[in-house]
Amino acid sequence: MRRRFELVTASRGEVALGRLALEGPFAVLVADMRMPEMNGVQLLARVKKEYPDVIRVMMTGNADQETAVLAVNEGQVFQFLNKPCSMEMLSTVLETCLRQYQLITAERELLEKTLNGSVRLLVDILAMSDPISFGRGQTLRGHMRSYLNGFELENSWELEMAALCGSLGTVTVPRALVEKQRAGQPLTDQENEILGRAPQNAADLLGHIPRLESVARIVRYQQKHYDGSGFPQDDVRGEDIPIGSRILKVLTDLVDLETQHLRKDAALSRLQERVGWYDPRVLDAVFASFDVYLTAALAGRVGEAIPVKELRVGQTVVADIQTITDITIVPAHSQITPVLLLRIQTFSRYCPIQEPIYIEA
């Protein structure tokens, strides 16, 4: 077999886990069912959790149905082999597993490079054209991450991306109308309709990027009320609303209330008063997930004071960055990206910026 494959062997499960940790990454793991201390199903279940990209194969001389079911359900095996297994059969299975591994890694490369690069471009455009919406998206993504910490959800990256990109639709709305809404001024029915279409516009922008169909659908329904009211005006309601949209709706309204300087506990209580707006289970989960986070969020954070020239990519500001004429160019709680840093540097050449800048210590 070593003439065709690069092989590493282990006599029992703990040794295999040690080699995975120290000598990986590996493409395929073939596990026997009967091993000392840890059987094959237990090993494959650990590998699935800790190294999900590894393609898992179970080999056993015990071909009973229970073993097969356990291997599939707990270890999520890609192939199941009975002993004795011929060299030809094992080689064929390994070749198939290697191709599957290559598909998985190619998918990740596409996701991390092409897809993320496209999204980064859209978000950078938002950062330059509407820094307040950009900062809101960053805050919303942070809340989403805090929420997701309590769950093991597949494709959680879709929820984080939807949180960050949900405000992209504001670039399609006239600037004067956006400012009018932020100022809390009364809006006409036509103006409400234009603003209501912003999530659909954002979804259309994201929908042009391959593999973001699910993210686009989450964004499209991010303002939909659980009882079916709100935008878009269709028959979708309750459990038919994407779960990501139901989560995003709660977190978006939470961020909006916090922007009005409500403490998080008061803001969450305000959400409970809005009958029919939210999925009750999601609302309860938000209360639970922010229980520990609440203490840190409510603590007054002044931050570290630095001059503009010391501002660096990756730092998070805890107060608005404003010009001396009180124009906000970066809102509080924004993480400094290369584009935002360029924006600050450009503004500072033509209009002095209020110093110091306050960042998270």
The confidence band for 210, taking pLDDT boundaries of 50, 70 and 90, is confident
**Buried b or exposed e, range 157-174, using 16+ CB within 10 angstroms:** ebbbbbbbbbbbbbbebe
The answer to whether 222 and 245 have CB atoms below 8 angstroms apart is yes
> Is 63 a residue whose pLDDT tops 80?
no
What residues does CATH 1.10.3210.10 cover in the chain? 130-299
Confidence of residue 74 (pLDDT cuts 50, 70, 90): low
Element (H, E) at 66: helix 65-75
pLDDT of residue 219: 95
* Gap between the Cα atoms of 178 and 175, Å rounded: 5
Prediction pTM value: 0.62
Type of residue at 59: M
| pLDDT > 90 fraction of the chain, expressed in percent and rounded | 33
Q: Which residues pair with 168 in a beta bridge?
A: none
* pLDDT tens-digit series, residues 92-104: 999 999 999 998 8
The tens digit of pLDDT for each residue in 151-189 reads 766 678 889 999 999 999 998 899 899 889 888 899 999
- 3 state SS of 8: coil
Q: What is the pLDDT of residues 289-323, one digit of tens each?
A: 775 344 444 444 457 889 888 999 989 888 888 88
> What is the C-alpha to C-alpha distance for residues 138 and 349, in angstroms, rounded to an integer?
26
Residue the block writes with tokens 């459990």: 239
**100-132 residues labelled b (16+ CB within 10 A) or e (exposed):** bbeeeeeeeeeeeeebeebbeebbbebbeebbb
Handedness of CA 49, 52, 58, 63 (dihedral sign): positive
- In this prediction, residues 241-245 reach a mean pLDDT of 94
The CA-CA-CA angle for residues 158, 102, 15, to 5°, reads 95
Is residue 42 within 8 Å of residue 13, measured between CB atoms? yes
Residues 71-87 have a mean pLDDT of 77
Q: Which residues pair with 321 in a beta bridge?
A: 330
Q: pLDDT band for 72, please (50, 70, 90 cuts).
A: low
> Of 57-61, 114-118, 272-276, which one has max mean pLDDT?
272-276
Looking at per-residue confidence, does 237 or 338 come out higher?
237
d(C-alpha 311, C-alpha 109), whole Å? 31
Within the chain, all domains assigned CATH 3.90.105 are found at 301-361
Q: Which residues of 312-346 are buried (b: 16+ CB within 10 A; e: fewer)?
A: eeebebbbbbbeeeeeebbbbbbbbbebbbebbee
> Could you report the per-residue pLDDT of 247-287, keeping only the tens digit for each?
999 999 998 888 777 777 788 889 989 999 999 999 988 88
pLDDT of amino acid 65: 59
Q: Helix %, strand %, coil % for the chain, to 5?
A: 55, 10, 35
| Contact criterion met (CB below 8 Å) for 215 and 206 | yes
Q: Look-up: residue for tokens 């054209």?
A: 129
Distance CA 143, CA 137 (A): 10
Question: Pairing relation of β-strands 328-330 and 79-82?
Answer: unpaired
Neighbours of 257 (CB within 10 A): 18
Q: Which pLDDT does position 295 carry in this prediction?
A: 45
Residue 15's identity, in one-letter code, is V
361 to 286, 302, 315: CA distances (angstroms): 27, 9, 9
Residue 175 vs residues 98, 167, 207, 271: alpha-carbon distances, Å: 52, 14, 24, 28
Q: What is the mean pLDDT of residues 81-100?
A: 89
Average pLDDT value for the chain? 85
Give the rounded distance of the alpha carbon of 209 from its chain centre.
17
Q: Which fold has domain 130-299?
A: Hypothetical protein af1432 (1.10.3210)
In the chain the beta strands, taken as DSSP E runs, fall at: 28-32, 55-60, 79-82, 304-306, 321-322, 328-330, 357-359
Which pLDDT does position 298 carry in this prediction?
43
- 361, pLDDT greater than 80: no
β 357-359/328-330 pair status:
unpaired
pLDDT at 300: 47
Topology of domain 13-105 in CATH is Rossmann fold (3.40.50)
Class of domain 301-361: alpha beta
| Beta carbons of 188 and 154 less than 8 angstroms apart | no
185 or 24, which is more confident: 185
Question: Whole-angstrom Cα distance, residue 87 to residue 261?
Answer: 68
Residues of the chain with CATH 3.40.50.2300: 13-105
